[in-house]
Structure 1
Amino acid sequence: MFDVDVVAGMSDVEVLDLLRELEREQAVRDAVKVRALARMAELRPDRDGGGHRFAGAEVGVELRWTPGHAACQVARAARLVALFPSTVDALAAARIDLARAHALAEITETLSDEHAGELEAWILARAEGKTIEGWRQALRAKKDRVDPEGARRRREQRRRERRVGLYAAEDGMACFDVYDTGERLRAVYLMVDKVARAMRAEGASEPLDALRADALYDMVVNGGGRGVSVELQVAVPYTVLLGADVPGTLAGYGSISSAAVAELVAAEGTAWRRVVTDPAGKVLEVSARRHPGADLARHIRLRDQVCRFPGCHRQAAACELDHTVPHSRGGSTSADNLGCLCPLHHKLKDQPGWRLRQTRPGLFVWTTPGGRTHDVGQDPLVDYEIPAPRQGEKSLDPAPF
């Protein structure tokens, strides 16, 4: 048993090492827990196909979990042990944590067992250094490439599940939950954000999050859209221009299927801007649809996508453009000295002991007060793989324009 009193005398390096060790120990214990829950599913088979309710009920009573939560935990554990033994082994070896294992089980629910296994092998080979959000984004982006023929079917299956929910919170508050397609909800968010910022410009003093809530209520209940319009930015590889049927990336959301891209193209009244990239994800061209402007700020936000602090996924649109080498010290206002940082990490950069370098455009290296370094690279704007040409077909990978 660890002596908790020892923590009070630890240095920063010792505290960080302890936290890493505790995470490893937790992963090992979680692997045992997953196997135990899966074993309960075997011992209490739910013969009417209700989704492990019998095992869940017994586990829930023992651990004081709600029936729904218990059934969900048993079902996920049974799926992991049956379909993803390598993932459970990786959890037992502390290469991943339980959240990543659960994400794999959840995101592959609409894939065949064969395609799910292919996705598992792919992500486990790239497990190192990914935050849980990065892990999820990578899985979503790869999913449609593993089974492109099923992308439209899966999209329709999920779209039929769209819903709105209301959940009580503390002190008279509530949570309004909407489950819908990424492009529709991204458009809703951009709309309320733009109205909220207009309210701020008019003198409202509340935080932007609160103003967004006010804007949403006003728009839904009172129709107070204020005539605001927004655009969606959709990045696609240049092979789309040659007829390829491949996924794209919706700025502020992540990977979307080729079916979703096609629907956006065909949709009336939807303002969107096409961003074309090369195979490495570098921006080649921004379409001139609605307010063209290939200025430096847009280039940096498209390049960085999110805050450039390790593990932060604050969208670039909500970040500040930071001079890596401060302008006051001779830093240039150029692509190799600008980056997106959210307000918190913009301030953190200037705190004692912290150091940030941009070793090449888009590649940032942070040094902590304890002397540890963390690289933050530039993820491709569109993460896709060039399909091998069929016999008699020309390659879809000519020299970039």
Structure 2
Amino acid sequence: MTTHPHPHRSTAELLGSVRAEAALRRDSEVREARDIVAWAGLNTVQESADAATISDGYVDTGVPIAGEGAPLVSEFALMELCAVLGRSTVGGRDYVGKVLETAHRLPSIWEAVLAGRVPVWRALKIAEGTRLLPADAAAHVDRHLATFAATCTFAQVDRLVEEALARFDPTAAEQRRREAADGRRFDVHTHDAGTEGTVAVDGILDTADALDLDAAISDRARELADLGCDASRDVRRSMAAGDLARGNQPLGLDTRSLVPHEHGSTTKDPTSRKRRTVDLHVHVTDTALTTDGETIGRLGNTRSPVTTGQVRDWCGTPGTTVIVRPVIDLTGHEPVEAYEIPDRHRRHVQLRDPHCAFPHCQRRATRCDLDHATPHAAGGSTCPCNLVPLCRSHHRAKTHSTWGYTVLDPGQYLWTSPHGHQFLVDHHGTCTLDRLDHRQTHRR
């Protein structure tokens, strides 16, 4: 039987209590991290042989627990600290190392931790990725995360770390790229086939090859649906992979690849293949124009950093088509009378707001609905300034519950929850504001 220890407390009261307890826990974590940094200042060593190092399983790597520029901590003193923390020596040195990495090599993030703007656990996750970077590369990560470390995704952190390595240690970055390329594979696990008649398939591909494969499978899956297949999307994609394996291409053939027969019929040229289309959003800065060596770009399809050398390799593939799109003015306004949203408006909004505009949501805007902030039926225009990306679940919450938002500026939204909690969402992420009286009216 379920018991309710506080049967007379309202939902609003319980939410306030949970919020207060979470704040106390965050404060305690900050105090502990601050004390660890002070402890490290009293327990440093000068010789690397006496310093605590990272262990990879049972193997001592010889790498200090924090990166270049952080203090070397006494190995034996650290054992005592780990015991006091209630952690194993291995787990404790990893934790302490990330605290020191944050405090000494990520000063902007550390300042945000002390001010309560960034949770300790999030800062330590960022530090985990920067520990092996050169000092200038770690500083690059710190500068770029200074304003949105509290809300960035760890995929964004990983991409930023890769970019920093490519900028400040291109030799190591190129070595990693070559090692990754050597690790490409594609496995069909036929040995695991059972009576159910299915097998698992997995692999690691070149990014461009993977995008080509995904596009081909998606196209064929949509065609199967158009032809009347009522299976789920996942099932149709698996069927599409089989069709591609048998050479069954989508019905929309390129007539330039048809070979005429002497009796007037045609078949598809077996030597022809689908042309690769490279669709890149290229952001060029003054440093990119003046810096010697490799320039770092960003692949719009995956939002990952990429060197210009890799782009040249992809674009040099025979049969590749390169599309150059005009730059979109993100401050421009192009209202149309129709309710339907033109593609150019959709691209505009997706570039301005990369994610769902709901508090803390990181669903990519390319996978979101576009909501008319002022409903079209109420006179709202179909214009980027009145369009907001919302993922399907948060779009439903805005439509069918008392969640609501106000557009302060394009790309800046003030949300109010059903019990009056307010959140400011902009390109920096989500900022929690003071709670208002839940009876205050707000825009749906």
TM range (shorter): 0.5 to 0.7
1:80 aligns with 2:98: yes
Q: How far does residue 234 in structure 1 lie from its aligned partner after superposition?
A: 1.6
What is the letter of the counterpart of residue 234 of structure 1?
A: L
**2:265 aligned with 1:265, yes or no?**
no
The amino acid of 1:17's aligned partner reads R
The answer (yes or no) to whether the contact 1:320–1:342 under 8 Å persists in 2 is yes
Q: Give unmatched runs, 5+ long, in structure 1.
A: 53-69, 284-292, 380-401
* Secondary structure in structure 2 of the residue aligned to 1:313: coil
Contact between 2:54 and 2:94, CA under 8 Å: does it hold in 1?
no
Closer, same or farther: CA 336–91 of 1 in aligned 2, 3 Å: closer
For residue 346 of structure 1, report the CA deviation from its aligned partner: 1.9
TM-score (norm 1): 0.63
Amino acid of the structure 1 residue aligned with 2:358: F
Distance apart, 1:267 and its partner CA: 3.0
Match in the other structure for 1:160: 182
**Alignment check: 8 A CA contact 1:300 1:338 kept:** yes
Aligned partners of 2:159, 2:61: CA distance in 1, in Å? Answer: 36
Structure 2 partner of 1:222: 246
Q: How far apart, in 2, do the equivalents of 1:174 and 1:8 lie?
A: 55
Larger Rg: 2
Match of 1:364 among 406, 413, 427: 413
Of the candidates 331, 344, 354, which is equivalent to residue 403 of structure 2?
354
Does the CA contact (< 8 Å) of 1:320 and 1:341 recur in 2? yes
Matched, 1:46 2:70: no
Greater mean deviation of Cα atoms: 73-82 or 265-274: 73-82
Rounded Cα–Cα distance in structure 1 between residues aligned with 2:169 and 2:326: 20
User: Secondary structure in 1 aligned to 2:385?
Assistant: coil
Match of 1:118 in 2: 139
Residue 125 of structure 1 aligns with an amino acid whose one-letter code is A
User: Which deviates further from its counterpart, 254-263 or 123-132?
Assistant: 123-132
For 2:220, the aligned partner's letter is V
Q: Note the alpha carbon deviations across 1:321-375, whole angstroms, 9 max, x for none.
A: 3212111111111111123322222212212211133333333333222323333
* Counterpart among 182, 194, 209 of residue 219 in structure 2: 194
Shift in CA distance, 362/81, structure 1 to aligned 2, threshold 3 Å:
closer
Mapped pair 1:315 → 2:364: yes
* Cross-structure match for 1:96: 119
Change (3 A) 1:226 1:124: closer
Instruction: Decide whether the 8 Å contact of 1:28 with 1:91 is kept in 2.
Output: no
CA distance in 2 between partners of 1:306 and 1:183 (Å): 23
Q: Tell me which residue corresponds to 1:393.
A: none
Contact in 2 for aligned 1:247/1:261 (Cα 8 Å): no
Question: Is 1:300 aligned with 2:375?
Answer: no
Q: 1:288 maps to which residue?
A: none
Q: Which has the higher contact order (CA 8 A, sep 6+)?
A: 1
Matched, 1:105 2:136: no
Aligned residue in 2 for 1:11: 11
Q: Secondary structure at the match of 1:226?
A: coil
Distance 1:165 1:90 in 2: 47
Is this contact kept in 1: 2:217–2:237, CA < 8 A? Answer: yes
Note if 1:234 corresponds to 2:271: no
Q: Which amino acid aligns with 1:346?
A: H
- Tell me how far 1:253 sits from its aligned partner: 1.0
What letter is aligned with 2:233?
Answer: L
- Which stretch shows the higher mean deviation, 293-302 or 361-370? 293-302
The residue type paired with residue 359 of structure 1 is L
| Cα distance in 2 for residues equivalent to 1:72 and 1:185 | 38
Distance in 2 of aligned mates of 1:132 and 1:7: 38
Alpha-carbon distance between aligned partners in 1 of 2:178 and 2:422, rounded to the nearest angstrom: 44
